[in-house]
C-alpha cells in the first residue's frame, strides 16, 4: 500500500492523507503526492500543532522541514 498526501492546488494546503493499493491520479482540484512513512511522521507532527488552532498544514511548510518532500514536489512541477 502507498501513502498519499492530498494537496489543494488553489490554496496549497494539505487536506488529507490517503492510503491506497491503487495509484492515485491528480485531479483538476487536487494534487496527489506519494510519500514515505518518514514524511508522514513529519506531516502528522505539524498537523497536531496546527489542529490546536483549527488550521491546515501548508505544503510549503512541510517542504521546509522535509527535503525529501520538497524533492517530490519539484519532480512533478
Query: What pLDDT, in 10s, does the model give residues 59-76?
Result: 999 999 999 999 999 986
Cell of 43: 506531516
Q: Whose grid coordinates read 503526492?
A: 33
Number of domains in the chain: 1
The pTM of this model reads 0.90
- Give the H or E element holding residue 18: strand 14-20
Exposed e or buried b for every residue in 33-46, given b needs 16+ CB within 10 A?
bebeeebbebbeeb
pLDDT tens per residue across span 31-60: 999 999 999 999 999 999 887 788 999 999
Q: H helices of 1-77, where?
A: 37-51, 59-65, 67-75
Mean per-residue pLDDT, 2-31: 96
Domain, as residue range, for 60: 2-75
Amino acid at each position: 500500500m502507498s501513502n498519499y498526501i492530498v494537496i489543494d492546488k488553489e490554496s496549497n494546503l494539505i487536506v488529507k492523507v490517503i492510503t491506497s493499493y491503487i495509484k492515485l491520479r491528480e485531479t483538476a482540484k487536487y494534487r496527489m503526492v506519494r510519500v514515505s512513512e518518514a514524511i508522514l511522521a513529519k506531516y502528522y507532527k505539524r498537523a497536531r500543532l496546527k489542529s490546536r488552532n483549527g488550521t491546515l498544514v501548508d505544503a510549503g511548510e512541510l517542504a521546509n522541514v522535509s527535503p525529501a518532500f520538497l524533492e517530490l514536489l519539484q519532480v512533478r512541477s
